[in-house]
Copies of this chain bind each other. A is one copy, B any other.
Amino acid sequence: MKLVVKDMDISTGDVQVVILNDHDAAMFDLHSGDRILIQKGNRKTTAVLDIAESEKAVPPGFIGLFEEVLDALYAKHGDTVEIHLAKKPLSVGYIRKKLDGKELTYQELYEIVKDIGANKLTDVELSSFVTANYIAGMSDIEITHLTKAMALTGTQLKIAKKQVADIHSIGGVPGNRTTLIVVPILIAAGLTVPKTASRAITSPAGTADTMEVLAPVSLPISRLYQILDTVGGFIIWGGSVNLAPADDRIIKVEHPLSIDAEGQMLASIMAKKASVSATHLLMDIPVGKGTKVDDRKKAVHLQGHFERLGKVLGIKVCTMITEGSQPIGNGIGPVLEAIDCLRTLKNDSRAPQDLRQKSLEMAATMLEFIGKAKKGQGMVMATEILNNGKAYKTFVDIVRAQGGKDIDPSTLKPSKIEHVYEAPRAGRVQCLDNVSISRIARMAGAPRDQGAGIFLHKHCGDTVKKGEPIMTIYAASREKLNYALDLLKEIDGVVVR
CA distance A439 to B85 in the complex (A): 13
Chain B residues lying within 8 Å of A135, measured Cβ to Cβ, are: 99, 101, 131-132, 135-136
With A31-B255, A99-B259 as known contacts, state yes or no: A57 contacts B127, CB within 8 Å: no
Closest chain B residue to A10, Cβ basis? B10
With A29-B439, A52-B13 as known contacts, state yes or no: A257 contacts B131, CB within 8 Å: no
- In this assembly, does A424 line the interface, its C-beta being within 8 Å of a C-beta of chain B? no
Task: Give residues 117-175 of A contacting B (CB, 8 Å).
Answer: 122-128, 130-132, 134-136
- In this assembly, does A242 line the interface, its C-beta being within 8 Å of a C-beta of chain B? no
> Is there contact, CB below 8 Å, between A128 and B125?
no
Copies of this chain, count: 2
- In this assembly, does A377 line the interface, its C-beta being within 8 Å of a C-beta of chain B? no
Our pick among B11, B32, B122, B132 for the contact of A54 (Cβ within 8 Å) is B11
With A99-B135, A135-B135 as known contacts, state yes or no: A257 contacts B26, CB within 8 Å: no
1/0 per residue, CB under 8 A from B, across A1-15: the answer is 100000011110100
Interface window among A267-275, A396-404, A442-450:
A442-450
Our pick among B27, B34, B101 for the contact of A480 (Cβ within 8 Å) is B27
> Is there contact, CB below 8 Å, between A29 and B202?
yes
> Is there contact, CB below 8 Å, between A448 and B123?
no
Chain B residues lying within 8 Å of A253, measured Cβ to Cβ, are: 124
Closest chain B residue to A204, Cβ basis? B29
Chain B residues lying within 8 Å of A428, measured Cβ to Cβ, are: none
> Is there contact, CB below 8 Å, between B259 and A96?
yes
CB distance from A367 to the nearest CB of B (A): 37
- In this assembly, does A53 line the interface, its C-beta being within 8 Å of a C-beta of chain B? yes
- In this assembly, does A28 line the interface, its C-beta being within 8 Å of a C-beta of chain B? yes
- In this assembly, does A256 line the interface, its C-beta being within 8 Å of a C-beta of chain B? yes
With A54-B11, A123-B124, A127-B131 as known contacts, state yes or no: A33 contacts B96, CB within 8 Å: no
Chain B residues lying within 8 Å of A42, measured Cβ to Cβ, are: none
With A27-B442, A52-B13, A57-B11 as known contacts, state yes or no: A96 contacts B258, CB within 8 Å: yes
CA distance A442 to B30 in the complex (A): 10
CB distance from A26 to the nearest CB of B (A): 6
Chain B residues lying within 8 Å of A27, measured Cβ to Cβ, are: 442-443, 445, 448, 480
- In this assembly, does A252 line the interface, its C-beta being within 8 Å of a C-beta of chain B? yes
Chain B residues lying within 8 Å of A101, measured Cβ to Cβ, are: 135
CA distance A99 to B29 in the complex (A): 33
Chain B residues lying within 8 Å of A122, measured Cβ to Cβ, are: 123, 256
CA distance A95 to B445 in the complex (A): 33
> Is there contact, CB below 8 Å, between A33 and B256?
yes
- In this assembly, does A23 line the interface, its C-beta being within 8 Å of a C-beta of chain B? yes
Task: Give residues 24-54 of A contacting B (CB, 8 Å).
Answer: 26-29, 31-34, 51-54
Closest chain B residue to A135, Cβ basis? B135
Our pick among B52, B96, B255 for the contact of A32 (Cβ within 8 Å) is B255
Closest chain B residue to A449, Cβ basis? B27
Task: Give residues 181-216 of A contacting B (CB, 8 Å).
Answer: 202
CA distance A147 to B280 in the complex (A): 55
CB distance from A297 to the nearest CB of B (A): 18
CA distance A10 to B120 in the complex (A): 23
CA distance A136 to B135 in the complex (A): 8
With A32-B256, A123-B127, A124-B124 already in contact, 10 other A-B pairs whose C-beta atoms are closer than 8 Å: A8-B10, A11-B52, A13-B52, A27-B442, A29-B202, A31-B255, A31-B256, A92-B256, A99-B135, A127-B127
Which A residues form the contact surface with B (CB < 8 A)?
1, 8-11, 13, 23, 26-29, 31-34, 51-54, 57, 88, 92, 95-96, 99, 101, 122-128, 130-132, 134-136, 202, 252-253, 255-259, 439, 442-443, 445, 447-448, 480, 483
A-B contact pairs, 23 of them (CB 8 A): A1-B483, A10-B10, A11-B57, A28-B443, A29-B439, A31-B252, A31-B255, A33-B252, A33-B255, A33-B256, A34-B256, A92-B257, A95-B257, A99-B135, A99-B259, A101-B135, A123-B127, A124-B127, A128-B128, A131-B131, A131-B132, A131-B135, A135-B136
